[in-house]
C-alpha cells in the first residue's frame, strides 16, 4: 500500500491529461456508499473519548482547509449529504474556534451539535501502516549498495478520461507508464543524479516504498526523513499475494514480518518476487522532527492512531470516522478498538467504501501492530452539518445490530 501526497512541483500534463492541482488535493471521481444515520450513543466508547483532543484535530484540519483554493474538492461519495466541499465546513470551522480547549463537556457538545454520524452498511476492513526506520548512508560504499531514488524529471502526472490519477512519461508521442521495477533494478536510472541515499537491502527499500515514507538512520546516528514523491505508474502488486500465488506461503501466514523473513531466508528467489510488483515509488527529503509523523495526502502530519487512509471516492479528506473493531488479529489475539480517527491520507491498495488503513506511528511496536492488523469491523462517518443541532435534538437513527465491546484506543496484541 502506498501513501501519497501529490506535490505541485514538476511538469503537469497538458490537454490530453489535464490536472487541476489544489495543494495536495486534485479532484477525484466520486462513488456511492450505502449509509444510514445513527446517534452518538451508538458509538461504542463515545462517552469516554478524548473530546478535547479531538477538537484540536478539527482545528488543525480547519487551518488546512482555510489555506486551500476555494474550489478544492475534499472528495467523498455523492450519497453523503454534506462535507464534500470546502464551503460545507465553513460554519463548523467557525464554531470550533470558540470551543474552550480544556472544557471536555463543551468539546463533546461541539461534535454532537455540528456532526451527524452515518453508519456505512458495508463490512468495514482495517489494516495498519507506519513510518519505518532503516539503516542508510548518503554515499555508496561497502554494504550500502541499494539506491533510494528521487523523482525523475520526465515523470509526469495527470488524470485520464475517467478522472483517475496516472503517472508516466511520453514515449514517441504516447503517454506510457515509467520504467518498471525490473528495469530500474537493472540500472535504467543510473547516472541521472537521482540517488538520495543508499540502503543495505532491497527488502528495506520495499518496506519504505510500501509505507510511502520513512526515516533513514545514518551511520553517525542522524536521521534523514523521506516523503512520497510519486510512482512510476505501473500496477501495484502486493508481495504477499505473489508469495501465495506461487505457493511459497499460505494466506494465513502472510504478514509484514513473515514476508521480510521469507525474503531474507530465500535470497536466490527474492529478486524474482520483488520484481513481480512492477510498481516503484520515488521519494524526496523532508523536514520534520523525530516526534512528527510524515505528511499525509491531506497535507497534514499524520497523527499516530488518529489518522486514517481512505478511498477518497467514498470518504473525503478531513472527515471524522468512528472505527469499531472487535475480533482477532492475524496472530489470533483478541483486538478491540473503538475511537475517532480522521481521513487524512490515501493509498493505492485502499479501495472501497468501508476500507481504512490506520496510521500507527513509528518504532518497533507500531511496525508490529501494523504488520498484524487485518481486522473486520464497522465504520461510521461523521458528516459536518450546515447548522448546529440543538442539544438533544438528534436526527432519526437506525439501530446498528450487534454492539461491540468498548475498548477505547486499546489494541490487545
What tens digit of pLDDT does each residue of 96-111 get? 999 998 999 999 999 9
Query: 407 or 94: which carries more pLDDT confidence?
Result: 94
Q: Which of 147-151, 251-255, 367-371 has the highest mean pLDDT?
A: 147-151
| pLDDT above 80 for 326 | no
- pLDDT value of residue 344: 97
Query: 285 or 101: which carries more pLDDT confidence?
Result: 285
Grid cell, residue 322, equals 468512528
Q: What percentage of the chain has pLDDT greater than the value 90?
A: 71
Q: Which domains does the chain have, with CATH numbers?
A: 28-122+300-356+369-384 (2.40.40.10), 129-286 (2.40.240.50)
Q: What is the pTM of this model?
A: 0.83
Residue 8 pLDDT class (50, 70, 90 cuts): very low
- pLDDT value of residue 28: 58
- pLDDT value of residue 411: 28
- pLDDT value of residue 199: 98
How far apart (Å, rounded) are the C-alpha atoms in residues 28 and 42? 31
- pLDDT value of residue 133: 95
Q: Which of 24-38, 76-90, 318-332 has the highest mean pLDDT?
A: 76-90
Q: Which of 13-27, 163-177, 214-228, 390-404 has the highest mean pLDDT?
A: 214-228
Residues contacting residue 322 through CB under 8 Å, at least 6 positions apart: 43, 46, 117, 338, 339, 340, 341, 379, 380, 381, 382
Mean pLDDT of 276-303: 95
> In residues, how long is the chain?
413
- pLDDT value of residue 247: 96
Query: Of 202, 326, 313, 209, nearest to 267 (Cα)?
Result: 202
Handedness of CA 270, 275, 277, 280 (dihedral sign): positive
Question: Among 150-164, 265-279, 300-314, which is the least confidently predicted range?
Answer: 150-164
| pLDDT above 70 for 22 | no
Q: What is the largest CA-CA distance in the chain?
A: 68
Rounded to the nearest 10°, the torsion over CA 236, 242, 244, 246 is: 150
pLDDT in tens, 24-43: 444 556 788 899 999 999 99
Mean pLDDT of 71-100: 92
CA distances from 235 to 45, 166, 168, 260, 268 (A): 40, 11, 12, 21, 24
Residue 372 pLDDT class (50, 70, 90 cuts): confident
Residue 343 pLDDT class (50, 70, 90 cuts): very high
Mean pLDDT of 378-388: 95
- pLDDT value of residue 30: 73
- pLDDT value of residue 256: 86
Residue 371 pLDDT class (50, 70, 90 cuts): confident
- pLDDT value of residue 46: 96
Residue 195 pLDDT class (50, 70, 90 cuts): very high
Question: Among 41-50, 60-69, 330-339, which is the least confidently predicted range?
Answer: 330-339
How far apart (Å, rounded) are the C-alpha atoms in residues 107 and 100? 7
pLDDT in tens, 120-178: 999 999 999 999 999 999 999 999 999 999 999 999 988 777 667 789 999 998 999 99
Query: Of 115, 93, 111, nearest to 52 (Cα)?
Result: 111
Residue 413 pLDDT class (50, 70, 90 cuts): very low
- pLDDT value of residue 10: 36
Amino acid at each position: 500500500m502506498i501513501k501519497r501526497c501529490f506535490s505541485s512541483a514538476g511538469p503537469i500534463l497538458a490537454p490530453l491529461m489535464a490536472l487541476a492541482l489544489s495543494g495536495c488535493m486534485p479532484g477525484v471521481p466520486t462513488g456511492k456508499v450505502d449509509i444510514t444515520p445513527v446517534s452518538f450513543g451508538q458509538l461504542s466508547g463515545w462517552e469516554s473519548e478524548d473530546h478535547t483532543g479531538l477538537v484540536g484535530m478539527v482545528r488543525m484540519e480547519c487551518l488546512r482547509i482555510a489555506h486551500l483554493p476555494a474550489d478544492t474538492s475534499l472528495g467523498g461519495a455523492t450519497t453523503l449529504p454534506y462535507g464534500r466541499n470546502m464551503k460545507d465546513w465553513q460554519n463548523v470551522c467557525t464554531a470550533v474556534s470558540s470551543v474552550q480547549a480544556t472544557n471536555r463537556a463543551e468539546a463533546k457538545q461541539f461534535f454532537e451539535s455540528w456532526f451527524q454520524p452515518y453508519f456505512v452498511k458495508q463490512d468495514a476492513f482495517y489494516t495498519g501502516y507506519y513510518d519505518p526506520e532503516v539503516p542508510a548512508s548518503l554515499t555508496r560504499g561497502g554494504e550500502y549498495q541499494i539506491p533510494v531514488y528521487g523523482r525523475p524529471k520526465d515523470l509526469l502526472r495527470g488524470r485520464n478520461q475517467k478522472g483517475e490519477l496516472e503517472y508516466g512519461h511520453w514515449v514517441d508521442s504516447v503517454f506510457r507508464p515509467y520504467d518498471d521495477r525490473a528495469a530500474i533494478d537493472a540500472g535504467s536510472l543510473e547516472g541521472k543524479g537521482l540517488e538520495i541515499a543508499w540502503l543495505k537491502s532491497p527488502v528495506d527499500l520495499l518496506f519504505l516504498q510500501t509505507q510511502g515514507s520513512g526515516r533513514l538512520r545514518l551511520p553517525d546516528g542522524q536521521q534523514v526523513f523521506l516523503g512520497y514523491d510519486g510512482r512510476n505508474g505501473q500496477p501495484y502488486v502486493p508481495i504477499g499475494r505473489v508469495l501465495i500465488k506461487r505457493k511459497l506461503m499460505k494466506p494465513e501466514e502472510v504478514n509484514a514480518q513473515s514476508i521480510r523473513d521469507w525474503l531474507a531466508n530465500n535470497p536466490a528467489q527474492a529478486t524474482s518476487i520483488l520484481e513481480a510488483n512492477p510498481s516503484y515509488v520515488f521519494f524526496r527529503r523532508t523536514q520534520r522532527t523525530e516526534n512528527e509523523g510524515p505528511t499525509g495526502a491531506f497535507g497534514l502530519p499524520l497523527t499516530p492512531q488518529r489518522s486514517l487512509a481512505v478511498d477518497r471516492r467514498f470518504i473525503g479528506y478531513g472527515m471524522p470516522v468512528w472505527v469499531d473493531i472487535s475480533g482477532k488479529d492475524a496472530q489470533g489475539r483478541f483486538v478491540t478498538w473503538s475511537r475517532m480517527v480522521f481521513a487524512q491520507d490515501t493509498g493505492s491498495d485502499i479501495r472501497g467504501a468501508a476500507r481504512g488503513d490506520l496510521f500507527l506511528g513509528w518504532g518497533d511496536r507500531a511496525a508490529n501492530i501494523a504488520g498484524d492488523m487485518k481486522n473486520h469491523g464497522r465504520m461510521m462517518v461523521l458528516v459536518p452539518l450546515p447548522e448546529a443541532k440543538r442539544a438533544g435534538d438528534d436526527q432519526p437513527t437506525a439501530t446498528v445490530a450487534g454492539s461491540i465491546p468498548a475498548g477505547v484506543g486499546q489494541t490487545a496484541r
